[in-house]
Structure 1
Amino acid sequence: MMQRTDEPSPAAENTGPLARINVVEMGQLIAGPFCGQLLGDMGADVIKLEAPGHGDPMRGWGSGAQPMWWQVIARNKRCVSCNLRTAEGQALARGLLAKADILIENFRPGTLEKWGMAPDALHTINPGLIIVRVSGYGQTGPYAGRAGFGGIGEAMGGWRAIVGDADRPPARMGVSIGDTLAATYGALGALAALNHRQRTGQGQVVDSALYEAVLQVMESMVPDYAASGFVRERSGAILPGIAPSNVYPCQDGEFLIGANQDTVFARLCAAMGQPELASDARYATHSARGAHQAELDAQIGAWTRTLTIAQLEASMIAAGVPAGRLFRPQDMLDDPHFAAREAIIDLPHPRLGCVTMQNVFPRLSASPGSVRRSAPDRVGQDNAAVYGEKLGLNAAALADLQARGII
C-alpha cells in the first residue's frame, strides 16, 4: 500500500463538456454531493465546502472494513473547510460564489437565507449564478420546512408503498434511490439553466424536491387512479399483467427473463421446446398472458429448473430473448462486457493505493467525462490552493482563519 501524501492522484486530461464551469457544493450526505459528483464527472471544477474538523459524514459511510462511499461521491472535487455558521465563513463562501457558475446546496429550506445567502442576495453579487437547491419537500409549500431524507421522499412520492411482497410490509431498494434521483434532476436542471443563461445572461434557482423526483418516475400510477380508481399494490418480483417477466430458478441459482412481447415470447417458447405455447389461447396475446401470469411463470420455472445458469443464458442468447444473470460485484469485475467498455475503473489514490469504482456515465463521443482526481483525504486539504487561487488569501491569512476555527 502506498505511503500517505497530501497530493491527489495524477490528474487525467479534462475533456468534459463542463470543463470551464465552476461549481461550489454545500451541504452533505447524498443528495447535494451526488449532484456535485455528476457535474464533476462531466468536467466541472467542483469545490466542496465542509465544516472544519469532522467534515461530511459521508467520509465514514459504506460497508466493510474500509468504507469507500466517499471515494466515489467526492471524486473530481477539491475540498475546503469553511464554518458557514460564522460571519467570516459566510463571507468566504460569498467570495467563492461571486466567481462561480453553479451553487449546489441540500440544507433545510431557509438555511441559506439565515446565513445571508438568499438567492436574491447571491444574484446581487453574481447575476448569472445558478442555485441548485435539493430538499425533501421543495422550497415552498406547507411541508417545506420539514426535515426530509431520501426514504421519506420515496414514501411520499409513492415508491415505498409498491415495493416488496403483497403479504409483507413495504420494502426498500438497496440503494438511496430517492436521494440520487433528486440529485440527478438537480443536475439536469443545472444544465437546462446553463443553456438559459447562455441566451439571457441570467441565473436562476433549480428547486429539486426528493418526493417530486420520485413522483416523476412513477409512470402512470397517478393517472391510472385518477382515470379509473386503479391502485397499484406491492407485487414482489413481478409487475401484474406483464408476463413473462420474472426471476426464474435454475439448478445453481436464479436468472431473469423478460419475454412479454408477442414475438419475443414466441422465441422463448421455441427455445423451451414448446412452440405451441405461443399460439395457445391462454398465452397468445399480451393481455392473455397477463391474465394467466402465475401458471405461465410456473411452466417456465419448471423448464429453467432443469438447466444451469450458463445453459439457460446460452439458450436465451441464441434465441434472442432478453435475459441475464443477477450480477454481484465479483461478476462485474470478471465480466468481459464491463471490461471492454471500461464500466469499472481503478483510480490511483495516495493513501489507499488504488480504488476500484464505477466509471462516468453517460458516455459522450466528442467531449467525454472522466475521473480525474481521487476524493480528498483530509478535511480542508485544498484550502491553500482554492482560497489562494479564488480569493487571493496567503498562508498567514489562512493560518489566522484556521486558528480561529473559520476554516
Structure 2
Amino acid sequence: MPNQTSKVSKGPLAGIKVLELGTLIAGPFCSRMLAEFGADVIKVESPGAGDPIRQWRVLKDGTSLWWSVQARNKKSITLNMKDPRGQEIAKKLALDADIIIENYRPGVLEKWGLGYEQLKAENPATIMVRLSGYGQTGPMKDLPGFGAIGESMGGMRYVSGHPDRPPVRIGISIGDSIAALHGVIGAMMALRHRDVTGGRWNGKRGDDCVAGQGQMVDVALYESVFNMMESLVPEFDYAGVVRERTGGALPGIVPSNTYTTKDGQNIVIAGNGDAIFKRLMSAIGRDDMANDPQLARNDGRVPRTEEIDGVIQAWCDTQAIDDALAILKAADVPVGKIYSVRDMMSDPQFLARGMFEQHAFKDGTPIKLPAVSPKLSETPGETKWLGPDLGEHNEEVLGALGYSAEQITHLRHEGVL
C-alpha cells in the first residue's frame, strides 16, 4: 500500500513542477490529474483550516474522504498569502514552476504580486492556468462564480430534467470538473508550445536567457460547460430551435430512453441505430415494427417516438431487469442498468479494469479510491500517497528553497506558515 511520504515521480509528467494556488474543486482537480501522471505538485493552503474541501461531505477524523482523492500525490504547504513573506515564498515557487494553477477571482494574484504578467516579466516561460467563473475579461469577470452558476449560464441546467418540472442539478459538481479538464488540456498544449519554442527557463536574463514561450490559459467555468453543449447554437441560429428538457430521452434520436422494468429498476435502451432498432424490435417480439419501412430510418421513427417508447415500455413491464438485460444483450442492443456506487463496486467490468485501488490511512484503516484515468499503456498514472496533512511538506518545500530550520520555525511562530 502506498505510504504518505513523497516519492520520486515516474509518470509521463515526471520532472514537471506545478504550483497550485486554489481551493475546492476546479483548480485542485486540474492539478490532481497532473499529479496522478507524475507531476510534482505543491499545493498552497491557508494556515489553520486549509482548503475548505477538507471538511466537505463524509469525514474521517475531521477530514473529508474526498480529500484523499482530490489531493492525492500532492505536497501541502501552508502560507498566509496576506503576509508579504508568504507572498515572497509563493513567488519563489511560482518562478520555479513549469505550470501555475489558480482559481481565485481575477485580480487577487495581481494584488499579491503573482499575476501572470508580473511573473512573465521575470520568467518568460511562465504557464499559468487561470480558472474562474467568467474568465479574466468581460463585464462579469469580478463576480463570484461557482460551478452551479457556470452550469446554469453555460446551458447545462436548462436542458437537465423533465419538461414539466424545474431544471435539476446533475448529482456531482460537473461544472467545476469540466472546467478542470479544460484546464488540463490547456496546460498540456501550453507546455508543448513552450517546449517547442525553447523549453524551460534557465533562470538567467539577457542574451544567455534560454526559455520557450509561456502563456496564460484562461478557463471560464461557464464557457467550459458551454463547450459541451453540442449543436445548441447552430440549431437555434439556423432553425430557431431551443433545446428543452426531455427527461431520460434523447430527442430526435429514436429510440433512446430510460424505461422501468417490472421489478421497479431503471434501464437505458439505446436502439437508435437503424440496424439496432430492427434487432431491438425483433428481440421484444415486434417483428411488425422491425420490418415497417417507415421505421427503417431515424427520420421516420422520430414522428412516432411516443408510439415506439410505449411499445418498449410495455415490454419492460413484463420483464425483470436481469432478464431484460440478458435478452437485449443477446440481440446486440446497447442496454445498461443505471448504476449506483454499490453496483459499480461489485461489477465484473469495473473489477476487470482495476477501477478501484486499495489504500490505507496513516492509522492503518483501509480505504478504496477510484483508480486513475485515462489508462496509458506505457506510462500509467498512479496514486503514490493519499491527500496530505495540512502543511505536511512545509519543511521539505521551504528547505529546498534555502530556508533553514530556524527560519521555518520563526515563520511558523509568526503565522506565515
The answer as to whether partners of 1:14 and 1:370 remain within 8 angstroms in 2 is no
Shift of 1:98: 1.8
Shift of 1:209: 0.3
Instruction: Tell me: CA distance 1:283–1:335, structure 2 relative to 1, closer, same or farther (3 Å).
Output: same
For residues 92 and 342 of structure 1, the distance between their equivalents in structure 2, rounded to whole angstroms, comes to 40
Q: Which residue of 2 aligns with 1:336?
A: 348
For residues 10 and 398 of structure 1, the distance between their equivalents in structure 2, rounded to whole angstroms, comes to 20
Instruction: Tell me: CA distance 1:382–1:10, structure 2 relative to 1, closer, same or farther (3 Å).
Output: closer
Q: What's the secondary structure of 2:168's corresponding residue?
A: coil
What is the aligned counterpart of 1:405 among 403, 409, 415?
A: 415
2:147 maps to a residue whose letter is G
Q: Which residue of 2 aligns with 1:187?
A: 184
For residues 398 and 64 of structure 1, the distance between their equivalents in structure 2, rounded to whole angstroms, comes to 30
Moved more, 247-256 or 207-216: 247-256
Instruction: Tell me: CA distance 1:97–1:10, structure 2 relative to 1, closer, same or farther (3 Å).
Output: closer
CA displacement, residues 46-81 of structure 1 (integer Å, 9 cap, x when unaligned): 110000000000001124777411111111111000
CA displacement, residues 332-360 of structure 1 (integer Å, 9 cap, x when unaligned): 11111111111111122213622212111
For residues 43 and 317 of structure 1, the distance between their equivalents in structure 2, rounded to whole angstroms, comes to 39
CA displacement, residues 77-135 of structure 1 (integer Å, 9 cap, x when unaligned): 11000111111000000111121101000000000111111212112332212100000
1:34 maps to a residue whose letter is F
Moved more, 88-97 or 248-257: 248-257
The answer as to whether partners of 2:281 and 2:287 remain within 8 angstroms in 1 is yes
Q: What's the secondary structure of 1:289's corresponding residue?
A: helix
Q: Which residue of 2 aligns with 1:380?
A: 391
For residues 8 and 112 of structure 2, the distance between their equivalents in structure 1, rounded to whole angstroms, comes to 37
1:198-217 equivalent positions in 2, closer than 5 A: 198-200=195-197, 201-217=212-228
Unaligned runs of 5+ in 1: none
Instruction: Tell me: CA distance 1:185–1:355, structure 2 relative to 1, closer, same or farther (3 Å).
Output: same
Q: What's the secondary structure of 1:315's corresponding residue?
A: helix
Shift of 1:13: 7.4
For residues 273 and 298 of structure 1, the distance between their equivalents in structure 2, rounded to whole angstroms, comes to 14
For residues 215 and 326 of structure 1, the distance between their equivalents in structure 2, rounded to whole angstroms, comes to 26
Shift of 1:8: 4.4
1:253-292 equivalent positions in 2, closer than 5 A: 253-292=265-304
1:232 maps to a residue whose letter is R
Q: Which residue of 2 aligns with 1:301?
A: 313
Q: Which residue of 1 aligns with 2:255?
A: 244
Q: Which residue of 2 aligns with 1:362?
A: 374
CA displacement, residues 270-294 of structure 1 (integer Å, 9 cap, x when unaligned): 2112222122245322022221112
For residues 68 and 52 of structure 1, the distance between their equivalents in structure 2, rounded to whole angstroms, comes to 20
For residues 128 and 43 of structure 1, the distance between their equivalents in structure 2, rounded to whole angstroms, comes to 20
For residues 71 and 264 of structure 1, the distance between their equivalents in structure 2, rounded to whole angstroms, comes to 43
What is the aligned counterpart of 1:43 among 38, 43, 61?
A: 38
Q: Which residue of 2 aligns with 1:230?
A: 241
What is the aligned counterpart of 2:404 among 389, 394, 404?
A: 394
Q: Which residue of 2 aligns with 1:221?
A: 232
Percent sequence identity over aligned pairs: 45
Q: Which residue of 2 aligns with 1:326?
A: 338
Instruction: Tell me: CA distance 1:64–1:8, structure 2 relative to 1, closer, same or farther (3 Å).
Output: closer
For residues 13 and 392 of structure 1, the distance between their equivalents in structure 2, rounded to whole angstroms, comes to 20
For residues 316 and 309 of structure 2, the distance between their equivalents in structure 1, rounded to whole angstroms, comes to 10
The answer as to whether partners of 2:3 and 2:384 remain within 8 angstroms in 1 is no
The answer as to whether partners of 1:97 and 1:126 remain within 8 angstroms in 2 is no
For residues 20 and 232 of structure 1, the distance between their equivalents in structure 2, rounded to whole angstroms, comes to 46
The answer as to whether partners of 2:99 and 2:127 remain within 8 angstroms in 1 is yes
Between 1 and 2, higher relative CO (CA 8 Å, sep ≥ 6) is seen in 1
Unaligned runs of 5+ in 2: 198-211
Q: Which residue of 1 aligns with 2:12?
A: 17
The answer as to whether partners of 2:361 and 2:367 remain within 8 angstroms in 1 is yes
Q: What's the secondary structure of 1:161's corresponding residue?
A: coil
Q: Which residue of 1 aligns with 2:83?
A: 86
CA displacement, residues 149-190 of structure 1 (integer Å, 9 cap, x when unaligned): 001111111111111111111111001111011111011000
Answering whether residue 198 of structure 2 is matched by residue 167 of structure 1, we say no
Q: Which residue of 1 aligns with 2:24?
A: 29
Q: Which residue of 2 aligns with 1:55?
A: 50
For residues 284 and 142 of structure 1, the distance between their equivalents in structure 2, rounded to whole angstroms, comes to 51
The answer as to whether partners of 1:153 and 1:214 remain within 8 angstroms in 2 is yes
For residues 250 and 13 of structure 1, the distance between their equivalents in structure 2, rounded to whole angstroms, comes to 51
For residues 351 and 169 of structure 1, the distance between their equivalents in structure 2, rounded to whole angstroms, comes to 46
For residues 348 and 387 of structure 1, the distance between their equivalents in structure 2, rounded to whole angstroms, comes to 28
For residues 79 and 10 of structure 1, the distance between their equivalents in structure 2, rounded to whole angstroms, comes to 11
Answering whether residue 101 of structure 2 is matched by residue 104 of structure 1, we say yes
Shift of 1:11: 6.6
The answer as to whether partners of 1:132 and 1:186 remain within 8 angstroms in 2 is yes
Shift of 1:9: 3.1
**What TM-score results when the alignment is normalised by the length of structure 1?**
0.95
CA displacement, residues 193-249 of structure 1 (integer Å, 9 cap, x when unaligned): 000001111111000000100110000101111111111111111122221111111
The answer as to whether partners of 1:32 and 1:183 remain within 8 angstroms in 2 is yes
For residues 67 and 295 of structure 1, the distance between their equivalents in structure 2, rounded to whole angstroms, comes to 48
CA displacement, residues 344-398 of structure 1 (integer Å, 9 cap, x when unaligned): 111222136222121111111111111111111x211110111112x02222111
